[in-house]
Structure 1
Amino acid sequence: MTPSTPKKSFRTQIGRVLLISLGLSLGVLFVSVYYLGVAQQQKWMERDIAVLADILGNRSVAALDFYDQDAAKRNLVSSSFHPAIDFACLYNRSGELFAYFSRTNSGISGICSLPQITDRLQLNSSLGLGKLKAGTKIVENAKNDQIYVYSSVTSVGDVVGELVIVANTKLLKTGQRELLLILLVLFVVVMISALLVSRRMLSSALSPLTHLHNTAKNISVNSLSRERVKKISDDEVGELVDVFNAMLNNLAKENEALVVSESRFRTLAESAPIGIFLRNENFETLYVNDRWCAITGQPHGCSRQEYLKSISDYDLRNYEGMIEGLRSGSVGQTIEYRYRAPGRLNDHILMEYVTPLEVKEGVSGEHQVRGYVGSVLDVTELKNAQHELEKLAYYDPLTHLPNRRYFKDYLVKQLQLAKEEDSIMAVLLVDLDNFKRINDTLGHDAGDILLSVLAGRIKQRLHSQDLVARMGGDEFYLVLRNLSSLAEVEKITKRVRSVLASPIRIKNHFVEITASIGVASYPENCDTPEELMRNADIALYKAKGDGRNRVAYFSAELDSQLRDKMRLESKLRQAVSCEAFEIYIQPQYDYKTSKFRWAEVLIRWEDPEEGFIPPDKFIKLAEETGIINDIDQWVLRATCKLWAEHGEALRAIGIEGVSMNLSARQFYSKTLFAYVEAVFEEYGINPSCISFEITESMVIENIEGAIETMERLRNIGSRISIDDFGTGYSSLSYLKRLPIDSLKIDRSFIMDIPGDTNDVAITSAIIAMAEKLNLSVIAEGIETKEQCEFLVEQGCFHMQGYYFAKPAPVRTFLKPQLNAAVE
């Protein structure tokens, strides 16, 4: 450790500055005085010697003229009164030494021969005098501490000699040293006096600052101290005291607010349901709350390295990358990672949010971070719940297969991948045939079991890269990827149909079921996911329309048929809204009375663009689209209106009432009776004049519901007839329970009699059965005399067909000619 540098007080620094300044000033002054005094004394000395030289020269003229060396020498000796004169030499006109004076009586020859020249001209030249002229020359020899004064000795304007005086400046320098010593003593005295005075003055001047310093020092020890600086003066220091006190007051307020804030933060942090932590710029922990310790299983003093050890290796790199990202920016980050606390067996999922503290730009332009604050939350249960929600959102809870939502996203991705890899893929839409019968006979639980088993079977028969998804109900979508050719699709469909057809034991019953499959492929049939699904649906519609238990492949022809169907549906809806239909009737002939006895109401549609559209074409479409409800209601109103307007005329030709068909949707509608009664009442119809015909297949779908509906219709007085009898699956046990009035033998059994023995046998059996059940029998589709005669032989006397009358508008049958022709 390096020794600490002793502190320098402000007073010492100011005193030092003052002393240095004063010392420099006095030094400059004393040096100036010294050198100026020395220079002045030397000038005075030179002037005195020069004057002395002139006096000696004037006094030596006579000695030179009379060649009186003794007088000259005495004259020169008189110069000894001056303590600085060491030598005096007198030369005659010829430059020869005439007389001299020496204070030391030694070295005279050397001095008086200076500059050691015997020739007069040489002497004059060395002195800078040239020829002998009147005047005085002073030369200083600093090396020998001597001054040479050369003075010409003149007489009546003529130079008769030369006087050389050598003065010693050592005495002068001795005086200079004494002066210097006196100045130094004065300098020391002045500096000591200045030091004492400055210390006293500084103590007095700096006392407010001293008080300010001491107060500040006390407050630095106790930041919550209420001590303030006393204002002593109104000068700049006094203003500084005011500013300092104001600053202390502001700091006190801020400190109080900080204490309150810290208390609030600590209370919040300790009571927060999430873990809160504070870390320094090296991400070492400075503070954590108790909840953080409970979540992480780490102590309060947990180091960074210890914490990182508990993070999953899979997520550790992401966590360290998050830290680096925080150091390079000022935006907080959120990260989720798997974490196993010390002493625990299972991983937990923690969600951590961290944001940098006091991020600022440094000198180099990089971000500087003073620390990090963040929170941590255990989201394990939330993630598990989210996973379960995702399963509910993307998977079918019954079969655990992907649902429609998952399938659509998957199909988008796989189609894009097929485009990039230029591969073949196909979509299969599988629909179980007659699945509703399973629910109705064995219950919905059995249906659920069946769906689960079949879903597992289908999945097992596909490749691992393929997908099977449940769309809801009894429909499944299959996605086949990376196909070598479309021939591979046929192999897969055979496997699927085979596995579906295998019997399944449910509730002690062996259930066998078939499936219809529609197939669409890429790139042959479509280019988008929506087109793939749509085309597979079109193909499925074709498979079911062809009799079910089939596989149909989408084609342009199927697409054209669907477009025709959509166009027809649009026209049909428009026809319903415009009531563009017409009512025809076809009478029923009574062979015994040879007259018409009843009539069936038939709907006809003449389109302005396409002409006549047969009922078997648009009625089926109306049932599929739900438009049949509106058509049934229109037919009921039209039938009642017809009977209200033409009932009397029709009775005149033997027709006692009319029958109309009810669709399954209307037959099982909860509003059927209310609507029928309302229409009957509106047109004043006797219900006994209206017969309702329902198909055998409608009754079989819901025997109990059908019986209830029939009884209600009969209770209001209407008749009930089973249409197309023999084409359904009714049994005698059901048939004897039905509250019906008659059976209508379907024309498919009539058209080939008496040539077809099977049709003959079936028709005869139906007639015999109806007779035993006391039911009236009506055969429809009679077109030949042979058919009529065979039916009469079998005991069937009520017939309907082209042989007797074709369907036509009611006005046609009201013409007398027609009645006469029939008779």
Structure 2
Amino acid sequence: MLKVNAQDPEPQRRGQILAVVILGIALSAATLSGINLVNEQYEYNVPNAIFLISVLGLFVLNRLGYVAAACMLTVTLIVAASAVFLSGEDLAQTFIIMCIPVFIASFLLVPWSGFVVSAVVIFNTLIFNQATVNTLSLLTFITVTTFAYLLARSLDRVNRQNWHRAFYDSLTGLPNRALFHDLLTQAVNRSKSDHIPRAVLFMDLDQFKVINDSLGHRAGDELLIIAAQRLQNCLRPGDTAARLGGDEFIVLLDGVGDVEDAVQVAQRIAKALGAPIKLAGRQMVVSTSMGIVLCEDANCEPDDLLRNSDAAMYHAKAEGKARCKVFNADMHAQALRRLELENELRLAIEREALTIYYQPKVLLSTGIIVGMEALVRWDHPTFGQIAPREFIPLAEDVGLINSLGRWVLEEACAEARRWQEQYPAAPPLVTSVNLSIRQFQGSDLVPEIAEILHQTRLDPGCLELEITERVVMEDVEYAIDVLEHLKKLGIKVALDDFGTGYSSLEALRRFPLDALKIDKVFIDGLPKSQQDTAVVQLVVDLAHAVGIQAVAEGVETVEQLTQLRDMGCDQAQGYYFWKPLMGEEAAALHAGSLRWLLDQSPSTEPYRDV
């Protein structure tokens, strides 16, 4: 009964209060009419009926959502009724009743409107009607008006603060998810009537987690504030930007011609957000991944637009980040699979349902196995074998990579220690474990690894951590500091996928490394491609020049192996030697102290992306 047809929460609240007031006035008027009828004072029947009809009309007007108009008319009706039906001594005696419209105006319109009502009442009573009013009553009336103003202003300020906290992001000042969803719902409803397309842009700051983890939360907050300011400066009048949480922002383009218009706005936003930012004394460049979805028919629903723009954004990230993608129907099925995989991966990590395989590393000068690289695999009971290139990025995106990486590190170290205890006569192997960028940027990396080594009782010299160029080049000074702390523990460090990133020679010279791993993409070109051959020789010579070893990945043919030996490459791994092995198979291989001979037949297993 008290429901008010208003979109915004504040008019709804005021309308509900006004509805109670109006019903109270109506009940009072009806009661007075009944008393008049009992006392046979029939001359009041018509005025009472007019007053009651007017009050009910105000109730309907308020219920339809015209709260401000209903409030002003309610105040006007009370003041006018008093002026019409009361005069002289009656008006003076009921003067204090005029506090009611004062309170209504102060609390339901704006706080100062009570003074306007008070002035009208005083003018009508003292000047127009020239009624004699008790001084105490007049002072009381003025005091009540002032009190109503102060109290209403205080409550109004509190309500505004609470409303702002409920619907705006406290850090950036942008609308939050709740308010954006409400605005999007209104826009979709307008689109169904005016047939003007709307677009939703879902965006994510690609480097935010790295910056937040490495430079601290203060730098992360500063990045979000700057990004929000730049985002707002890119919008057209009528568009809305909101922060959904974390580093996710969303934009409602309220009226676009077609999808190309939305893409142009997205490109303008990406360019603005991609301008250099100075954080914690460092110059940073932050890219943005965006997903775009268009609402151009009557079947659009707000939740569908949010979900589909989110799915398009993840496709942009999967294709290399720093780009935007427009949603299509295929993305929905892929988004459902991604959601299923996320839930299954979370359970698999909790239940330790993943498996670690080990690929041997061979010392090319002797053919002796000198190490094993730990590679995590996921054999799902329903989906089958899920490639690492699918579930590793997923773990990074949903925040599972740290728990996954720690589990792999713990299992690999424990397995290496078991081999040593099981086969004490065999020479100890170096076990290599890959570190993700999220792990490397974590502040607790070094103490966590030290704890794992202590728990597993593995010699630090038997552990090698592999990191990619992109990881160390995100923040060179930070990377050097972490690597030096790892080296102090006695751990070996290898730079993985070398040649595919953007390491500078000066930075490479400063990194405390033990090995450079030549990426498989260059090994594939041996010996046919002169360019790849030259790159591999350059990397081998560079590694030796800085006093570290060169390791070739993905060796598949005897020709590749022969040329690598001739180039002076130190170690190699790949399907030419052995496919990744289960722990028991790797242990048996280790126990046999096998040597790989150059004329030995290669593995019959095809090479797989590991």
Q: Does TM, normalized by the shorter one, top 0.5?
A: yes
- Counterpart pick for 1:680 among 453, 472, 475: 453
Indicate conservation of the 8 Å contact 1:428/1:479, yes or no: yes
Cα displacement string for residues 198-226 of structure 1 (whole angstroms, at most 9, x for unaligned residues): xxxxxxxxxxxxxxxxxxxxxxxxxxxxx
Deviation at 1:809, TM superposition (A): 1.8
| Equivalent residue, structure 2, for 1:181 | none
Give the AA of the match of 1:794.
M
Deviation at 1:800, TM superposition (A): 1.1
Deviation at 1:653, TM superposition (A): 6.6
> Structure 1 residues 725, 659: closer, same or farther in 2, change over 3 A?
same
Give the AA of the match of 1:747.
K
| Equivalent residue, structure 2, for 1:536 | 309
| Equivalent residue, structure 1, for 2:502 | 729
Give the AA of the match of 1:646.
W
Mean CA deviation greater in 774-783 or 679-688:
679-688
Deviation at 1:539, TM superposition (A): 0.9
1:485-634 matched pairs, under 5 angstroms? 485-494=258-267, 496-497=269-270, 515-522=288-295, 527-634=300-407
Cα displacement string for residues 73-96 of structure 1 (whole angstroms, at most 9, x for unaligned residues): xxxxxxxxxxxxxxxxxxxxxxxx
Measured in 2, the distance between the counterparts of 1:742 and 1:722 equals 6
For normalisation by structure 2, the TM-score amounts to: 0.67
Cα displacement string for residues 624-681 of structure 1 (whole angstroms, at most 9, x for unaligned residues): 2232333223223322332233236778676632222223333344544454444434
Measured in 2, the distance between the counterparts of 1:795 and 1:569 equals 44
1:318-467 matched pairs, under 5 angstroms? 319-323=75-79, 334-336=103-105, 348=112, 350=114, 375=145, 376-378=148-150, 379-380=152-153, 383=156, 394=167, 401-434=174-207, 447=223, 450-451=226-227, 454-459=230-235, 462=236, 464-467=237-240
Indicate conservation of the 8 Å contact 1:519/1:536, yes or no: yes
Deviation at 1:588, TM superposition (A): 0.9
Indicate conservation of the 8 Å contact 2:368/2:593, yes or no: no
> Structure 1 residues 396, 746: closer, same or farther in 2, change over 3 A?
same
- Counterpart pick for 1:819 among 591, 594, 607: 594
Measured in 2, the distance between the counterparts of 1:645 and 1:452 equals 52
Indicate conservation of the 8 Å contact 2:112/2:149, yes or no: no
> Structure 1 residues 752, 655: closer, same or farther in 2, change over 3 A?
farther
Indicate conservation of the 8 Å contact 1:335/1:353, yes or no: no
| Equivalent residue, structure 2, for 1:743 | 516
> Structure 1 residues 717, 525: closer, same or farther in 2, change over 3 A?
farther
Measured in 1, the distance between the counterparts of 2:470 and 2:553 equals 18
Measured on the aligned residues, the alpha-carbon RMSD in Å equals: 4.5
5+ residue gaps, structure 1, are 1-280, 282-311, 339-346, 355-370
- Counterpart pick for 1:770 among 543, 549, 555: 543
| Equivalent residue, structure 2, for 1:694 | 467
Indicate conservation of the 8 Å contact 2:509/2:546, yes or no: yes
Cα displacement string for residues 211-245 of structure 1 (whole angstroms, at most 9, x for unaligned residues): xxxxxxxxxxxxxxxxxxxxxxxxxxxxxxxxxxx
Q: How many residue pairs are counted as aligned between the two chains?
A: 488
Measured in 2, the distance between the counterparts of 1:386 and 1:574 equals 44
Deviation at 1:444, TM superposition (A): 7.1
Indicate conservation of the 8 Å contact 1:587/1:655, yes or no: no
Cα displacement string for residues 724-747 of structure 1 (whole angstroms, at most 9, x for unaligned residues): 223333323332232222121222
Deviation at 1:780, TM superposition (A): 0.8
Measured in 1, the distance between the counterparts of 2:278 and 2:483 equals 36
1:37-76 matched pairs, under 5 angstroms? none
Deviation at 1:697, TM superposition (A): 2.0
Indicate conservation of the 8 Å contact 1:451/1:474, yes or no: no
| Equivalent residue, structure 2, for 1:266 | none
Deviation at 1:478, TM superposition (A): 2.2
Q: Which has the higher helix share?
A: 2
Cα displacement string for residues 579-638 of structure 1 (whole angstroms, at most 9, x for unaligned residues): 222222111111111221212122222222232222222222222223233322322332
SS class of match (1:765)? helix
SS class of match (1:406)? helix
Indicate conservation of the 8 Å contact 1:767/1:796, yes or no: yes
Indicate conservation of the 8 Å contact 2:224/2:247, yes or no: no
Indicate conservation of the 8 Å contact 2:198/2:256, yes or no: yes
5+ residue gaps, structure 2, are 1-28, 30-67, 87-96, 119-136, 601-610
SS class of match (1:335)? helix
| Equivalent residue, structure 2, for 1:342 | none
| Equivalent residue, structure 2, for 1:48 | none
1:807 aligns to 2:580 (yes or no)? yes
Q: Which has the higher strand share?
A: 1
Measured in 1, the distance between the counterparts of 2:186 and 2:462 equals 63
Cα displacement string for residues 561-585 of structure 1 (whole angstroms, at most 9, x for unaligned residues): 1111121222222222332222221
Measured in 1, the distance between the counterparts of 2:403 and 2:223 equals 33
Measured in 1, the distance between the counterparts of 2:359 and 2:387 equals 15
Cα displacement string for residues 427-463 of structure 1 (whole angstroms, at most 9, x for unaligned residues): 112445546799989977984785366234412xx2x
Indicate conservation of the 8 Å contact 1:588/1:596, yes or no: yes
For normalisation by structure 1, the TM-score amounts to: 0.51
SS class of match (1:609)? coil
1:477 aligns to 2:250 (yes or no)? yes
| Equivalent residue, structure 2, for 1:645 | 418
Give the AA of the match of 2:393.
K
> Structure 1 residues 817, 780: closer, same or farther in 2, change over 3 A?
same
SS class of match (1:803)? coil
Deviation at 1:774, TM superposition (A): 0.5
| Equivalent residue, structure 2, for 1:216 | none
Measured in 1, the distance between the counterparts of 2:574 and 2:380 equals 25
SS class of match (2:350)? helix
Indicate conservation of the 8 Å contact 1:659/1:691, yes or no: yes
Mean CA deviation greater in 447-456 or 769-778:
447-456
Decide which structure has the larger Cα Rg and report it.
1
Give the AA of the match of 2:289.
S
Q: With a CA cutoff of 8 Å and minimum separation of 6, indicate the structure with the bigger relative contact order.
A: 2
Deviation at 1:489, TM superposition (A): 3.3
> Structure 1 residues 405, 746: closer, same or farther in 2, change over 3 A?
same
| Equivalent residue, structure 2, for 1:711 | 484
Measured in 1, the distance between the counterparts of 2:528 and 2:189 equals 61
> Structure 1 residues 782, 497: closer, same or farther in 2, change over 3 A?
same
> Structure 1 residues 446, 609: closer, same or farther in 2, change over 3 A?
closer
Deviation at 1:421, TM superposition (A): 4.2
Give the AA of the match of 2:513.
I
Measured in 1, the distance between the counterparts of 2:505 and 2:363 equals 27
Measured in 1, the distance between the counterparts of 2:574 and 2:69 equals 85
> Structure 1 residues 794, 512: closer, same or farther in 2, change over 3 A?
same
Cα displacement string for residues 488-536 of structure 1 (whole angstroms, at most 9, x for unaligned residues): 4345445555666788999999997654321123356974322211211
Deviation at 1:786, TM superposition (A): 2.6
> Structure 1 residues 771, 544: closer, same or farther in 2, change over 3 A?
same
Deviation at 1:385, TM superposition (A): 7.0
Measured in 2, the distance between the counterparts of 1:520 and 1:541 equals 13
Indicate conservation of the 8 Å contact 1:505/1:511, yes or no: yes
Indicate conservation of the 8 Å contact 1:653/1:819, yes or no: no
Indicate conservation of the 8 Å contact 2:192/2:297, yes or no: no
